[in-house]
Amino acid sequence: MFRCGRRITQLIIRKSRTTSAGYLKLNYARKQLSSNEYKAIPQLNALSLRLYSESKVETKVADYDEVVKAISNNNILLIDVREPDEVKDHGHIPNSINIPLGTISTVLGEMSDKEFNKTYKRPKPNQNTELIFYCMAGRRSAKAQESAINLGFKNTKNYQGSWTEWASKGK
């Protein structure tokens, strides 16, 4: 029983790292178990697990008009989290920098001020700098916002309309 419980815990931890919104059905764990392991824990039939973070963070949203104003405000950092090829193919919002989603935590959390300035030609943001994230449709930018919040940034927004809305408005 302990061995099986340990295996379920390992499955839950592994799956929770890749599950967005913190939801995890134990059915996933059940499918990964051998039939003997599954029979040893019949409670898996009815169980679902929701993982909670320690603190609930209110996420803010930026609209099109805020982004237009942010373009000319050097105190606000617009961050495009799409891949460089997407930016090259579709374009970008003026005065924004491209930090792909997969590197956002490393760049904002670990990159030195000097290296950030050299790479992006902008000062590295501090914990109070206003950051507005965008992507193609608003999903990846929401993940980037969550990463920034987890790194301690206090003034983050997600431009939900993202590039799709920006391009449709003809800017």
Q: Catalytic site residues?
A: 135
| Residue of 167, 171, 170, 92 lying closest to 133 (CA atoms) | 92
Tally of CB atoms within 10 A around 130: 19
Side-chain-side CA neighbours of 101 within 13 Å: the count stands at 16
Q: How many Å apart are CA 124 and CA 68, to the nearest integer? A: 21
What the block records as the tokens of 5 is 């419980």
First to last CA, the chain: 62
Q: If you search the block for the tokens 């419980």, which residue do you land on?
A: 5
Provide the strand spans (E) within 11-155: 23-25, 48-50, 60-62, 76-80, 96-98, 130-134
